[in-house]
Amino acid sequence: SQELEQSPQSLIVQEGKNLTINCTSSKTLYGLYWYKQKYGEGLIFLMMLQKGGEEKSHEKITAKLDEKKQQSSLHITASQPSHAGIYLCGADETSGSRLTFGEGTQLTVNP
Amino acid sequence: DTAVSQTPKYLVTQMGNDKSIKCEQNLGHDTMYWYKQDSKKFLKIMFSYNNKELIINETVPNRFSPKSPDKAHLNLHINSLELGDSAVYFCASSPISPGEQFFGPGTRLTVL
């Protein structure tokens, strides 16, 4: 089965700083999903990437998919305390019936 | 209006008991899922149903039995609860499989 590795596992930044979270797959990526989870809550969908080289943005969050490297990166510009939470990447397996998730990156943004 | 709802939000019980978690989605989605998130925040799929039919059944003990009375509901029944079952259980739904998934708020299960 597909394995996803996220880095870093945790990240503490000062408000206003930029940051990047990476998600690397052990297999070819057919679809890559980014979710955010706040403590005690469910996951919130952020973005879905399907094509190599695809890049999507939502407010100050940008995600890119590099199919050749089997990797996706999530970049946050000018981070705010509201960005704090756990970011998880999920990959679409070849069977198309499930998502496999990475272990998550815990982001803390200090004011 | 809550898109994917789960009850209860918290569940504390003794080892050996049987318990159920309910999930309902009002999004009209065909596919529903149960995930388990352990203490390290690792999220792993347990089951997936499409239009009331089981399509994914991961290596989960037989003590876990999902039931889908209709495509808007997917309940999870757990028999003979063990300490290792303590986790947060998330229900999710999607219009297509796997697609963008909408998650419920989670049920935090604590087995004493």
Q: For A56-100, what is each residue's pLDDT tens digit?
A: 998 899 999 987 878 999 999 999 999 999 999 998 766 556 788
DSSP tag of B112: -
DSSP tag of B97: S
Chain B neighbors of A89, CB-CB under 8 A: none
Q: Does residue A16 register a pLDDT over 70?
A: yes
pLDDT value for A85: 95
How many angstroms away from the CA of B1 is the closest CA of chain A? 16
Q: What are residue B57's DSSP bridge partners?
A: B47
pLDDT value for B102: 92
Distance between CA atoms of residues A35 and A43, nearest Å: 6
Cross-chain CB nearest to A92 (options B43, B98, B104) = B98
HEC-encoded secondary structure of chain A: CCCEEEECCEEEEECCCCEEEEEEECCCCCCEEEEEECCCCCEEEEEEECCCCCEEEECCEEEEEECCCCEEEEEECCCCHHHCEEEEEEEECCCCCCEEECCCEEEEEEC
Percent of chain A beyond pLDDT 90? 65
In sequence order, the 6+-apart residues with CB closer than 8 A to the CB of A37 are A43, A44, A85, A86, A87, A88, A104, B41
Mean pLDDT of chain A: 89
Across the interface, whether the CB atoms of B105 and A98 are under 8 A apart is answered no
Mean pLDDT of chain B: 91
Q: Give the pLDDT band (50/70/90) at residue A2.
A: low
Q: Give the pLDDT band (50/70/90) at residue B28.
A: very high
How many angstroms away from the CA of B65 is the closest CA of chain A? 19
- Using DSSP's 3-state secondary structure scheme, residue B83 falls into helix
* Average pLDDT of the segment spanning A24-35: 87
